[in-house]
Amino acid sequence: MAIYGKVETCAEQVGDRPHFATALQFLSDLLSGSNEAARTLSALGEGENVRLNLAGPDGRDVYALLQYPRTRPRSEQQAESHRVYADVQAVVDGDEILEVMPLDGLETTREYRPEADAALYRMPETASRLVMRPGLAAIVFPDDAHAPMQAPDGTPRLSRRVVLKVRVADPA
């Protein structure tokens, strides 16, 4: 089940699950501008992504993806799910919609690929819509499918964002 709200609230709700404290502290520092990653993110060009390893060998336990994409209309979306990592998604500059839905009943468009830790699905008719703005975060777990980076009004625009990948299972 996804967790959504202010970063501090998400931290309280996720409790002492391994690796989440590292991810959420990084996110808090990034949002406050006290982490060097805030400057890295602000310097990204459109479409650029940067990976930062935060915990474990080669970032195996926690890593951050700093992103500067253009949001998309829902009609161009696919939902995704993961098996090894939970996502902590947050917008640093801009706003977007993140839809979350149960995996049951979704039509698979791309089978699970271990190297990407992702499967893709056709968007369902309806899903839970989370409004993502600076200071808010969503944690989506392997039993949640999700579709991030949706343009709130359907008009694509740039959005600086971060996805923290937190290992919650061992690779099969």
pLDDT at 172 over 80: no
Q: Tell me, yes or no, whether 58 lies in a domain.
A: yes
Q: Which domain holds residue 111?
A: 3-167
The pLDDT score that the predictor gives to residue 1 is 81
Q: Tell me, yes or no, whether 120 lies in a domain.
A: yes
Q: How many domains is the chain built from? A: 1
Q: Tell me, yes or no, whether 172 lies in a domain.
A: no
Q: Is the dihedral of CA 119, 135, 30, 18 positive or negative?
A: negative
- Per residue in 3-50, pLDDT (tens digit) is 999 999 999 999 899 999 999 999 999 999 999 999 999 999 999 999
CATH number at 147 reads: 2.60.120.370
- Per residue in 117-145, pLDDT (tens digit) is 999 999 999 999 999 999 999 999 999 99
Q: Tell me, yes or no, whether 124 lies in a domain.
A: yes
The answer to whether residues 124 and 51 touch, using CB atoms and an 8 Å cutoff, is no
pTM (predicted TM-score): 0.94
